[in-house]
Amino acid sequence: MRRRRRILGAITAIATLATIGMTGQAPTAESASGCRTPSSDFDADGAPDVAVGIPGRSGKPGAVQVRLSNKGKPHTTTIAGPHGFGTALTSLSSYEAPGDEALCSQLVVGSPEESTRTDLRRSGVVYTYYWSSSAKRFALRNLFEQPGESGARFGAALATEQRGAGQVTSRPGTLYVGSPGRDIDGIPDTGQVTSFWIDADEDPDVHDTHITWLGEPVTDAPESRAALGSSLAAAGGQIAMGMPGFPTRGRAGAGAVLVDIVGTDPDRPGPLLLSQDTDGVPGTAEKGDRFGAAVHLVPGSTPGTTTLLVGSPGEDVGSAVDAGAVTIARISSATADLSGKARTVNQNSAGMAGTSERGDQFGAAVSSMRSGSRTLFLVGAPGEDVGKKRDAGMVQTIGTGKGWTQNSKGVPGHAETGDRMGASLGGSVATGATRSLIGVPGENKNTGGVLIGLPIDRYRPTFVVGKSAGARYGFSVGP
Ligand SMILES: [Ca+2]
Ligand SMILES: [Ca+2]
Ligand SMILES: [Ca+2]
Ligand SMILES: [Ca+2]
């Protein structure tokens, strides 16, 4: 068994802001046992909501738009922020006791390009908001950052274990924050993941529970440009942390993923280092594969295991450079070991739509969805060319032979050069969402758009386009 290798985190200096006008709610018998609405339901009306990150391009301001179901009268609200605000999104609970129901689905926004200090650049900030039903707006609850380091990009990725439909949680969730540009021991861009929980106090404190970084004995030493925390996923009691720059076998940018068991037991097994060099994982670790550029976890498809999807958008398939691949691995819930052999698919594999071509970047985003009683794995290939339209993008499900571009029947819009459909994915079942969310951040000269749902099971998807040129609406979608 691997030893626990965690470097227990000293509590780092964290700025918090006082809560803005939290109104206490009287506990009721019905709500006494915790959060009953799914994570994706920010306004707690029983229907999932959609959050869209609009981080802006070329220094333009960022924003997050939330499309609330609002008891059948859809209400759209936008939170403005600096450039990069909305790069990552998730939903977090701070529920501790009856009366904390308004904190069950807080919106968490990563803003890695900003800094609250004038002597720093791109150190990164994370914000939390709660929906104020009386004020009809998201109210800032707190913001926090790590001790200063320019270029750390704290908040470039976020993950929390989500609460699906019918699930109840009664403890604060653990929020994981990636800082892929963090330097450890002076080694550039080693990257770091820090976990937090945020209490339910009126003047909330952010508690950091541990810090994960690379080094003895996970690896021999922190690795230059590993970029740990570039991607994150949490589900089934596990956390997957992508480090697409990790030099597996000494190959720059081959990439790897750390998978750890969530918890505080110091005797629990240490994290698994998974790469294309791991026994039972197909393929070969090569320069620029970027294994771990995207990760997604699906709990419980086989009892006692969690299914991990890992995107390698830089994988070459034959002579097709950066055609991309996705690895599907089952991870033991008890030990975080690989369970059985992993498999890898690309667009040339049986049961896959399309053909592996140069620059497809299949696996740049990975997620999952429900179709009838089946769980399907969803993959984005934002570099897919559609006819002569370069990088129009495509999404597809593994093993079904099905894929969709904006020229597919039932998909609104048109495949155009640079749309990059499938660059981001959200709306997995684990959040309580009922429809997949597919980012099209390059739509209309980087105005961006989001496709809500796919034309399957007789569903008619909708396509929402942003309002501001260059804003990249749909760079992230969630939760
Ligand atoms: Ca809702
Ligand atoms: Ca490879
Ligand atoms: Ca292709
Ligand atoms: Ca288009």
| Whole-number percent of the chain with pLDDT over 90 | 82
| pLDDT of residue 2 exceeding 90 | no
- With cut-offs at 50, 70 and 90, classify the pLDDT of residue 270: confident
Distance in Å, CA 133 to ligand 1 centroid: 11
Nearest ligand to the C-alpha atom of residue 416: 4
Q: In this predicted structure, which of 48-62, 208-222, 272-286, 308-322 has the lowest mean pLDDT?
A: 208-222
State pLDDT tens for residues 28-47: 444 458 999 999 999 999 99
For residues 271-280, average pLDDT: 95
State pLDDT tens for residues 435-462: 999 999 999 999 999 999 999 989 999 9
| pLDDT of residue 11 exceeding 50 | no
State pLDDT tens for residues 43-64: 999 999 999 999 999 889 999 9
For residues 65-86, average pLDDT: 97
Specify the DSSP element, H or E, that contains 231. strand 231-235
The whole-angstrom separation of Cα 116 and Cα 254 is 34
Q: Please list all protein residues whose beta carbon sits less than 5 angstroms from ligand 2, which is an ion.
A: 276, 283-284, 286, 289, 315
For residues 402-418, average pLDDT: 98
- With cut-offs at 50, 70 and 90, classify the pLDDT of residue 12: very low
Distance in Å, CA 119 to ligand 2 centroid: 40
State pLDDT tens for residues 140-183: 999 999 877 999 999 999 999 999 999 999 999 999 999 999 99
The whole-angstrom separation of Cα 256 and Cα 261 is 17
Considering only residues 351 and 372, tell me which one the structure prediction assigns the higher pLDDT: 351
In the block, tokens 């106090």 appear at 201
Q: What are residue 318's phi and psi, to 5 degrees?
A: 60, -125
Backbone conformation region of residue 53, classed left if phi is above 0, alpha if psi is from -120 to 50, else beta: beta
Distance in Å, CA 322 to ligand 3 centroid: 10
Nearest ligand to the C-alpha atom of residue 133: 1
Distance in Å, CA 426 to ligand 4 centroid: 19
Distance in Å, CA 274 to ligand 2 centroid: 13
Nearest ligand to the C-alpha atom of residue 313: 2
Distance in Å, CA 473 to ligand 2 centroid: 32
Nearest ligand to the C-alpha atom of residue 363: 3
Nearest ligand to the C-alpha atom of residue 42: 1
The whole-angstrom separation of Cα 171 and Cα 209 is 15
Nearest ligand to the C-alpha atom of residue 320: 3
Distance in Å, CA 347 to ligand 2 centroid: 15
What is the structure's pLDDT at 216? 65
- At 72 the three-state DSSP class reads helix
| pLDDT of residue 102 exceeding 90 | yes
What is the structure's pLDDT at 300? 77
Backbone CA torsion sign across 437, 438, 444, 447 = positive
For residues 259-280, average pLDDT: 89
Nearest ligand to the C-alpha atom of residue 72: 1
What is the structure's pLDDT at 209? 80
Considering only residues 336 and 23, tell me which one the structure prediction assigns the higher pLDDT: 336
| pLDDT of residue 14 exceeding 50 | no
Distance in Å, CA 131 to ligand 1 centroid: 10
Distance in Å, CA 386 to ligand 3 centroid: 9
For residues 67-95, average pLDDT: 97
What is the structure's pLDDT at 212? 83
Distance in Å, CA 207 to ligand 1 centroid: 28
CB 104 within 8 A of CB 68: no
Determine whether 215 is exposed, middle or buried from the number of CB atoms within 10 Å of its CB (0-12, 13-18, 19+): middle
Euclidean distance between the first and the last CA atom of the chain, given in angstroms as a whole number: 34
Distance in Å, CA 276 to ligand 2 centroid: 6
Distance in Å, CA 66 to ligand 1 centroid: 10
Distance in Å, CA 56 to ligand 2 centroid: 32
Distance in Å, CA 16 to ligand 2 centroid: 43
Alpha helices (H) along 250-390: none
- With cut-offs at 50, 70 and 90, classify the pLDDT of residue 13: very low
Determine whether 229 is exposed, middle or buried from the number of CB atoms within 10 Å of its CB (0-12, 13-18, 19+): buried
Nearest ligand to the C-alpha atom of residue 254: 2
Nearest ligand to the C-alpha atom of residue 479: 1
Distance in Å, CA 382 to ligand 3 centroid: 10
Nearest ligand to the C-alpha atom of residue 327: 2
- With cut-offs at 50, 70 and 90, classify the pLDDT of residue 299: confident
| DSSP-assigned letters across all residues of 375-431 | EEEEEE-TT--BTTBTT-B-EEETTS--EE-TTSTT--S---TT--BTSEEE--GGG
Considering only residues 12 and 352, tell me which one the structure prediction assigns the higher pLDDT: 352
Which pTM was predicted?
0.94
